[in-house]
Chains A and B, each alone.
Chain A
């Protein structure tokens, strides 16, 4: 059984089909990429999985459970996490606090215990702080942990957003263009982190990315979307050789 199973999903905005009969699977521990030209429907697909959009038809199963109609927060509790194409961090909060929101649903502290602080409130805060500090180490962002997020450069914000998603300790990570707008060095770092997450933590990853070099290097399998339809799937070498893909996507760039 695949960890994520998207079956024949369609999504429409007015007269435009953003997705048409798209099926995608991600296995346990797999790193799968979705590619396709602008407007192909990649983000829409991720939005359907994370619950930001509801598909018109089709089903989405996560670890065998039908999540098609589940609220986003409920999916997160099952083990889904994502980043956004346009960074959607909590801008006025510190890096630490952004990550601590990832621990929110595992915590119990309510208004009273929180306001009184000493006792259970503080104990829980310290315990979660430990977890979050490990992720901070892992992504090498120790030096900015107390910085307010909106003061950080773009590349670092992208990394913080990955960190925030990891704070959820997800089973499946959805990454929407994690390297967009980065310079070569930043991309290299990010690629290394994504690989580490996948290999060391065994997290399944579904990643949208435009940089073909990165996609070919990192992913186990690739899906290609064009005008809302899936036009190819398979291992990197296979997809690279596919004529329709070259025409629709690679050809358009070359």
Chain B
């Protein structure tokens, strides 16, 4: 039975997973994740890989929007920048381990440039300005054919590490898992320290933040950079997974999906990014299974699938905004708080 907790040093008091039980559960989860390829089919490993990539991208968006308060609709664009950077780099023989972070950095740079309007613009106005990023990047991708292959797309060789090719989802699973875990851990730490806390301060009260000595504009740009780095890395992994990328991989809907992930999961919560990304990625899969199961009795359902998907996505967001505006992560924390003192919860 756990009856509250007692800590003796600041280091202990500042730990992320503050009890042996939590650390044990986390270790068990990691072991389970490592063993997953033994249990799952190739199809579900494709889904799992897409979840990992979505988790990284949603974490990136949450850093900017949920933690720093800067709404962005540019995520599909930054994803594209990461993906096309990887295509260009691998075509020139740059190895996997260098191409991924480099694509992140290129995306970070582009993100920072499109972050400049945040000096003057807030809220919806900033969102519209980041929308410009989307269309500029899309235009560039379509027209810079020598680099991007234009509307026909461009192919990417599977990543290789020490001569071993990660040429199917079952193998690619491991680098994606490693990147996801590492980047979640990094983000979690970021918000335990100086820069992350400054981001949150800017979100809550930008004038106060300035008066407290935070260089607000610089940190907004930094937030755009860190956020776009995450999204760029996600784009890079997406390119390696998809093998062929074209503008069709990066419609505005991707940016909307990712906003949906962080709203449903929880704005300003790392755990929320994870839960939201899992939820939104699995939603169409669940629908597919359901329509598949019902197809026998309702043959028309399969054609309805596409519109059904959008409708359910919209409905999910509306329901969350009404019943759980703080997202799935908040619900999780409440359940956890309840069990922490169980059975003396009152």
Chain A residues in contact with chain B, CB under 8 A? 50-52, 71-73, 76-77, 82, 84, 88-93, 97, 100-102, 104-105, 107-111, 113-117, 121-122, 124-126, 129-130, 133, 164, 168
Contact = CB atoms under 8 A, between A and B. Distances in A.
B201 A101 contact: yes
Interface string B197-209: 1101101110111
Interface in B153-200: 186-187, 189-190, 192-198, 200
A93 B215 contact: no
Contacts of B296: none
Contacts of B322: none
B323 interface: no
A72 B201 CA distance: 15
A133 B11 CA distance: 14
9 contacts: A72-B211, A89-B208, A109-B195, A110-B194, A114-B193, A116-B189, A125-B192, A125-B193, A126-B11
The 4 closest A-B pairs by CB, nearest first: A114-B193, A76-B213, A105-B213, A117-B189
A243 to B, nearest CB: 38
Contacts of A76: 211-213
| Overall SS of chain B's interface | helix
A97 B194 contact: no
Contacts of A122: 11, 14
A84 to B, nearest CB: 7
B204 A91 contact: yes
A129 B14 CA distance: 10
A110 B213 CA distance: 16
A89 B203 CA distance: 11
Interface residues of B, number: 32
Given A114-B194, A115-B189, A130 B200 contact: no
Contact of B198 (A72, A88, A92, A104): A104
B146 to A, nearest CB: 34
Given A84-B208, A114-B195, A125-B193, A93 B200 contact: yes
Contacts of A115: 186-187, 189-190, 193
- Greatest chain B CB density within 10 A among A89, A104, A125 is at A104
B318 to A, nearest CB: 24
Contacts of B208: 84, 88-90
Contacts of B298: none
Contact of B212 (A110, A116, A124, A168): A168
Contact of B194 (A50, A109, A164): A109
B214 A105 contact: yes
B232 interface: no
Given A101-B198, A117-B192, A164 B204 contact: no
Contacts of B190: 111, 114-115
B213 A77 contact: yes
